Structure 1
């Protein structure tokens, strides 16, 4: 096995995560760092299957209230969306309503991927790889995008949280960051010290971009003794939720402000699998989601002009609720798109309807392939030209008018 392939195998087995101090000094990042080429892309994955019908509510479709009597959101509670007679926002999304009104937030409904699976694992895997032709291509769409552009920074791709998202997996080097105040070799092995020493040796002896990433990360680790990440103060009065999702979005904002050459970042928010008691469980999760994103937007200020955030979930929910006051796994769902380059203030939806003849086996039909959103985003806001490489098997050139560029 080649040395670089051995290193990749070692890193995969050991589970390296990195944290870095961002306290106004860039000396750790001074070498090998270039400005981001295009928008910084932040991808939020809402794991569990969000009920898009109760998030961006099609109140103008009479079948919504006819068919969802036990789980519907009262029309009088909905937040209006300017220019929209059909859709309203769940009231817990109040922090996002001004962003929609300001033309920074767009919503895409009846969207998803071309799969008939209702499995969490399978649908998350398919959407994050963006491969539906059965070819078994293992890399994620974000990793293929980074690979097509070439390494611009040691910190070009960062996965926040306890694991690097599948969308970032692949041969292009990326970093996994759990928290900024801890950088270590993540392993339960009693030989952790020996593993770390081995990794350091590999870093020193091997060349290539992977070695550069790991070596820079270990250099950052050495600085942590003198760093206090708690000194970071969000700007413009932004207040992030005191939750893992809130802290991770704050860390992404820190990375963007630090000018480390961040190109792509991913973060997860789980808990959307509401098979029971949906009305009581959905509202606080939406409040956390909206509060964190609104804080992220406020914190970045003018820097948001070159940042794009897109949020998606693996599938939607069944139109008709179950007997437990919840909804089961479905198909069509909604996406959130936010940023300075977004043509916001619109709900993009080729609405299929919720009447019985309109449904796809009891589900909201998918009329917009989510790859149309991502493809247009990468082309217009990230300058991607190798779209066939990033989204193999998807060649539909039609665009939705969601992005400037």
Structure 2
């Protein structure tokens, strides 16, 4: 799938251990159809050789601002004009600081000053360096100048520390590059999306929950981001990373999710209630762990707030999309929720079918409006989400064109 066909990308590599990932990044970008030219700092060459990058890119590697042969044709200006996008990966604390300061003391920093192309940085450094006030101030400066910050990721680092600072993997950076050039048909839209389960405490160590993994909601957030929307993701407890670029609000209980949604949805154009919210919570949460003293234990439950229904009741409600995970009579229950809760659309699936729905990488949905029914066939949740986001936008535009 050559989704970057004819795109010209300059990959700037600075001197960090994560430079070992860059040949794979070049290969991924080329697989997508991009032409890649590599620029290396002197520090980068301590970790990986120009010959390696030349072999995988198929182009000469530039590594000096003072290359007399290249500068006969003003090579740094030629590269700056040639690029559709400049990616700096890894972006060390040093190169981030020099770009923020407007320095031009090597080829890579000079390119960033001389280009009109967008610039994306993929930070890579020790977690303490990433959290340092100076680094964060530099990141804020670059963000204000409309540079893109992709990452960093969290995990074990070369120094043995664990935390934020790892450069994103090659496949993640290639996907972000693809997303950058994707059609931004949701430009100027703000989507609030809920995802994952909620947990309703019984006592300090026990809770009531469900099997939701959050994969569908996170896939929708990713698809909406790729299409250009501003995304606020209100998520229950999950074990997956939020899409880079969204605003993540983490919650635990249904009441917390209800509070955060209502606090953020009033400025939204679209609300997608994908979370599997517990219908009930424990009436009286025990302060201490309940001991196993009796053969039976009774717990009194009370109803949780209905988040999607409350959003749909707002005076200036956003375009509101619900979800219905059912095990029988899917269409009957989905249409009932659609009408009863005053929704614009509802996406329903049969979670009794093996291989789709909760904890699966695949899903199949049926989208219902008051008059329509559209099937989205079984596929990977990322693919399903892309189709769903496009359909939601079509209905959103149709509704707003009637006003």
TM-score, normalization by structure 2: 0.29
Higher relative contact order (CA 8 A, sep 6+): 1
Which structure has the highest strand share of the two? 2
TM-score, normalization by structure 1: 0.29
Larger CA Rg, structure 1 vs 2: 2
